[in-house]
């Protein structure tokens, strides 16, 4: 089975041939792959081995695999599960996400698609432990040249990246969701002298707080019930490289003090261990929260804030650098045409104008997703305004400042009265599901539709029993 540092994947594809094809695509990339033909077989494998990721078909023959998914998530909550659909549908997506899948998407048709899917799923769990080979192949992919932008605020971001990359300073990357914080973190790592060592990403908000400590610091065998073997944490895996603490604002207070010690002394102990471990790592952190306000409110340690905030880099929201929009469009149009092997499309002047006028609550990610959809759906070489979603055609419709309330159906107060709290909770739940449906399960977009920030939506989803994912 997987050696320490290797990533293990359990496959349960629709057919044996597909299992074989995926295995052939994954193994040369250094993944350890096990394949199962039935849900029973998959459960037996999962029971005997640890898997970082499970890729499972939504249907096996005529059978829906939903019950298996439920069981898997219940038994192995740490494992990331992606559901592959032969014919993806929103209802399927919502059902899979509700059952705890991380992602729901069409079965990949090329090695590139499969690797992208796997990387995305692993990054979500903070498991992006690229092999040196993979990183070499990534080449200049994470250079600043890949961050499109020429506006004055972006020039400032580039200047700071160049300046801090060669140092070992801790960098705190700030900005709204979808502005490109992760891209900045990657650019810093790959421009630093640590570039041939791992960049380990930890999404502090996506890992349940009970698991986060052992995820970060590892644990000794027997440290707690279920700790059947010693596990190396993220900080140790990053030895020589960089740890990117994404969504640091979600770091539980109990762990904040341990992080502070790593920053100051480069030392920690594994959970349940007594041996002090020294690490040579650099820390980058990002958040879309106002950390200073969190400090003032008393739920983020002031000493940790100052220690992280040595060099802050503020990534501006897209609406404050509209001059970058045409450049970003060009960048994405080229990329999608290339990725999908389609002819290069252009935007009609009306579309270009509407895109520049819109407020982009989901920032660059929202723009990227919209362009991808338009590239795929547009029939003509020039993308016309019929491809635009209504909220972009009518500037007023996209604004949620009025709460969008007139769009909601009239509500009735039953003669016998009602429990307001329960009714409001129910309404909230319905609207969240609607938004997720409309965004195809993309939380950033769903949050934008609801005028929430992504973290708040994820929190609400957790309370509703909708498991958190990325996107
Ligand atoms: N300047 C840019 N040029 C090209 N692509 C960009 C740029 N900024 C963001 N993107 C793309 O937009 C998407 C969102 O970026 P990223 O994940 O870095 O945002 P983020 O700030 O980390 O968001 P979140 O807070 O939601 O995690 C990514 O697919 C990224 O590649
Ligand atoms: Mg991010």
> Relative to the alpha carbon of 246, which ligand is closest?
2
Of 179, 245, 247, 442, the one to substitute when testing ligand 1's pocket (max ligand atoms within 8 A of C-beta) is: 179
Establish whether residue 331 lines the binding site of ligand 1, counting it when its CB lies within 6 angstroms of any ligand atom.
yes
- Tell me the domain boundaries of the chain: 8-111, 133-316, 319-398, 410-464
Residues with CB under 5 A from ligand 2 (ion): 181-182
Looking at domain 410-464, which of 3.40.50.300, 3.30.565.10, 1.10.10.60, 3.40.50.11540 is its CATH number? Answer: 1.10.10.60
Distance from residue 349's CA to the centre of ligand 2 (Å): 31
Question: Domain spanning 8-111: which superfamily?
Answer: Response regulator (3.40.50.2300)
80-85/103-106 β-pairing? parallel
> Alpha carbon of 372 to those of 3, 51, 323: distances in Å?
38, 32, 20
CA 203, chain centre distance (Å): 8
**Using one digit for the tens of pLDDT, what is the confidence trace for 8-34?**
999 999 999 999 999 999 998 888 999
Q: In terms of pTM, does the model score above 0.85?
A: no
Q: What is the pLDDT of residue 7?
A: 82
CB under 8 Å to 456, separation ≥6 — which residues? 447
Which CATH architecture best describes the domain 319-398?
Orthogonal Bundle (1.10)
Nearest CA owner, ligand 1 atom 5: 147
**Using one digit for the tens of pLDDT, what is the confidence trace for 112-154?**
889 888 887 876 655 333 333 333 334 444 556 679 998 999 9
Phi-psi region for residue 180, left (φ > 0), alpha (ψ -120 to 50) or beta?
Answer: left
Cα-atom radius of gyration of the chain, to the nearest Å?
23
CA atoms in the 13 A half-sphere facing the CB of 334: 8
Distance from residue 203's CA to the centre of ligand 1 (Å): 15
- Give the residue-averaged pLDDT of 319-333: 94
Q: Do the domains 8-111 and 133-316 sit in the same CATH topology, yes or no?
A: yes
CATH number of this structure's domain 133-316: 3.40.50.300
- Give the residue-averaged pLDDT of 418-434: 79
Q: Which atom of ligand 1 is nearest to the CA of 454?
A: 26
CA distance linking residue 347 with residue 352, whole number of Å: 6
**Using one digit for the tens of pLDDT, what is the confidence trace for 231-245?**
888 998 888 999 999
């Amino acid at each position: 089975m997987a050696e320490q540092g290797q990533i293990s994947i359990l496959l349960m594809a629709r057919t044996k041939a597909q299992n074989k094809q995926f295995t052939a695509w994954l193994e040369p990339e250094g993944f350890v792959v096990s394949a199962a033909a039935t849900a029973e077989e998959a459960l037996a494998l999962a029971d005997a081995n640890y898997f970082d990721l499970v890729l499972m078909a939504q249907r096996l023959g005529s059978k829906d695999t939903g019950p298996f998914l439920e069981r898997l998530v219940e038994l192995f909550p740490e494992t990331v599960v992606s559901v592959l659909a032969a014919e993806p549908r929103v209802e399927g997506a919502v059902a899979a996400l509700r059952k705890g899948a991380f992602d729901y998407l069409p079965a990949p048709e090329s090695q590139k698609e499969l690797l992208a899917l796997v990387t995305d799923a692993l990054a979500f769990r903070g498991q992006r432990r690229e092999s040196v080979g993979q990183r070499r192949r990534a080449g200049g992919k994470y250079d600043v040249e890949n961050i499109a932008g020429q506006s004055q605020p972006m020039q400032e971001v580039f200047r700071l990246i160049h300046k801090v990359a060669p140092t070992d300073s801790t960098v705190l990357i700030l900005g709204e969701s979808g502005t490109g914080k992760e891209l900045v973190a990657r650019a810093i790592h790959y421009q630093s002298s640590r570039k041939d060592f791992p960049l380990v990403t930890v999404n502090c908000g996506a890992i349940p707080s009970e698991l986060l400590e052992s995820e970060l610091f590892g644990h000794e065998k027997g440290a707690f019930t279920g700790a059947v073997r010693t596990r190396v944490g993220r900080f140790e895996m990053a030895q020589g490289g960089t740890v990117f603490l994404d969504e640091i604002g979600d770091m539980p207070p109990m762990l904040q003090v341990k992080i502070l010690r790593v920053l100051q002394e480069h030392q920690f102990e594994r959970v349940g261990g007594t041996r002090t471990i020294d690490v040579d790592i650099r820390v980058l952190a990002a958040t879309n929260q106002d950390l200073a306000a969190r400090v003032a409110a008393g739920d983020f340690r002031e000493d940790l804030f100052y220690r992280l905030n040595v060099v802050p880099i503020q990534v501006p929201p897209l609406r404050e650098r509209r001059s970058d929009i045409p450049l970003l469009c060009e960048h994405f149009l080229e990329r999608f045409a290339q990725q999908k092997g389609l002819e290069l499309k252009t935007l009609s002047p009306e579309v270009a104008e509407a895109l520049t006028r819109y407020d982009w609550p989901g920032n660059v990610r929202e723009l990227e997703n919209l362009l991808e959809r338009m590239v795929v759906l547009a029939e003509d070489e020039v993308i016309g305004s019929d491809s635009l979603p209504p909220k972009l055609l009518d500037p007023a419709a996209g604004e949620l400042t009025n709460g969008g309330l007139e769009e909601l159906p009239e509500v009735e107060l039953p003669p016998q009265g009602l429990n307001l709290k329960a009714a409001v909770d129910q309404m909230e739940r319905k609207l969240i599901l609607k938004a997720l449906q409309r965004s195809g399960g993309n939380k950033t977009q769903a949050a934008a539709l609801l005028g929430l920030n992504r973290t708040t939506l994820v929190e609400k989803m957790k309370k509703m029993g909708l498991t958190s994912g990325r996107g």
